[in-house]
Amino acid sequence: NYSGLYKSVDNGLTWASCDNVKFSAGSNFGMAGYFRKDGYVYMIGTRSGRDYPACLARFKEADIEDQDKYEYWNGTTGQWIAGDESKATAIINEKVGELSFIYNTKHKKWIIAYFNADRYNITMRTAEDITGPWSAPYELASGKEYAQLYGSYFHPLSATGDELYFLMSMWMPYNVFLMKAELADMGEF
């Protein structure tokens, strides 16, 4: 019925709820990915499920437990709006599921990957700025080749160099696989 944030101060031995961070069942941030850069933590989220556009938020690292200080990107007005998630507009306006994103320092681009049900694939897009514009979709893995695929979670090593590593799940054999893609010139796909 909601999503929230939990933290551990003992290397994952125990966990506690961050009671000041909670997104409702209908929130555009019911499912989210995070990436830390330049003193901010960026959060790209969708409503729960796999069939909703992706929206963008950010907060200063020190404010991670204070949702009132989260800022939401409003592409319509081109500004960050504090404390009102209803002002967040879609940065990727298609079906986005199980997303993950990074900033690649070699190519100086943001990279996002997600499951797209309409194309039945793991889709990748890039952008020079986190707010977009995001590139046309590029297929990282096809459901025709990898039946019942989903998920697309980047390994931190993908943030540098030419190798893009991501975890991809498959319903049958109900397992997770480490996938690798080579990044080329990062121009047009």
Whether residue 103 contacts residue 35, with contact meaning beta carbons closer than 8 Å, is answered with: yes
177: Cα within 13 Å, side-chain hemisphere: 16
- Whether residue 137 is preceded by a cis peptide bond, meaning omega within 30 degrees of 0, is no
Residue 184: predicted pLDDT: 76
> Residue range 68-91: average pLDDT?
96
74's tokens: 């409003």
184's tokens: 């080329």
For the whole model, what pTM was predicted?
A: 0.93
* pLDDT one-digit tens code per residue, 90-126: 999 999 999 999 999 999 999 999 999 999 999 999 9
* pLDDT one-digit tens code per residue, 42-75: 999 999 989 999 999 999 999 999 999 999 999 9
* pLDDT one-digit tens code per residue, 140-165: 999 999 999 998 999 999 999 999 99
Residue 138: predicted pLDDT: 93
Mean pLDDT over all residues of the chain? 94
141's tokens: 């893995």
Residue 189: predicted pLDDT: 47
pLDDT of 8 > 50? The answer is yes
142's tokens: 């096809």
pLDDT of 25 > 90? The answer is no
pLDDT of 185 > 80? The answer is no
* Phi, psi angle pair for 87, to nearest 5°: -85, -10
